[in-house]
């Protein structure tokens, strides 16, 4: 974990971070479809933010020495919205960044519902998987 990294605390800060630090140019992003952007950003920037922003954080993590003692604000932000899985957070972040850069409605509630429905269909009646390493 990079202790010097400033981790955003909400989606608005995430979008500002991407506008400032994203590896590809705004022009390149504007030429991409949402799906193309999601694919190109998934493994590079998506994996980086998932790991560096500690999206896998949970209490009593078996590798707790690699995570901050307190829950990162961005994780708390998503947990408060019913999103607990790091990959769901990452996908919502990337989709929201793309839509923001294209001046589109983020449709955040729709994105959240999509992932909660997925988890309901896969054995989590409340739509929220427990992120505890199991």
**CA–CA separation, 110 vs 112, rounded Å?**
5
Q: Between 134 and 63, where is the model more confident?
A: 63
CA distance 129 to 125: 9
pLDDT (0 to 100) of residue 48? 76
Q: What number is the average pLDDT over the span 103-122?
A: 95
- Please report which confidence band the pLDDT of residue 36 belongs to, taking 50, 70 and 90 as the band edges: confident
* pTM reported for the whole predicted model: 0.80
Q: Where are the domains of the chain?
A: 11-121
Distance CA 117, CA 111 (A): 10
Please give the residue that has the higher pLDDT: either 95 or 70. Answer: 95
Check residue 43 and report its DSSP letter: I
Name the residue among 106, 97, 111, 110 with its Cα closest to residue 30: 97
């Amino acid at each position: 974990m990079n202790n010097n990294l400033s981790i955003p605390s909400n989606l608005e800060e995430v979008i500002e971070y991407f506008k400032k630090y994203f590896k590809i140019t705004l022009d390149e992003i504007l030429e991409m479809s949402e799906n193309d952007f999601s694919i190109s950003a998934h493994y590079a920037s998506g994996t980086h933010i998932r790991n560096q922003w500690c999206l896998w954080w949970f209490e009593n993590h078996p590798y707790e020495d690699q995570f901050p003692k307190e829950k990162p604000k961005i994780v708390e932000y998503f947990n408060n919205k019913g999103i607990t899985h790091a990959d769901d957070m990452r996908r919502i972040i990337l989709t929201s960044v793309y839509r923001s850069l294209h001046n589109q409605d983020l449709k955040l509630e729709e994105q959240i519902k999509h992932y909660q429905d997925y988890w309901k269909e896969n054995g989590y009646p409340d739509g929220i998987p427990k992120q505890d390493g199991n």
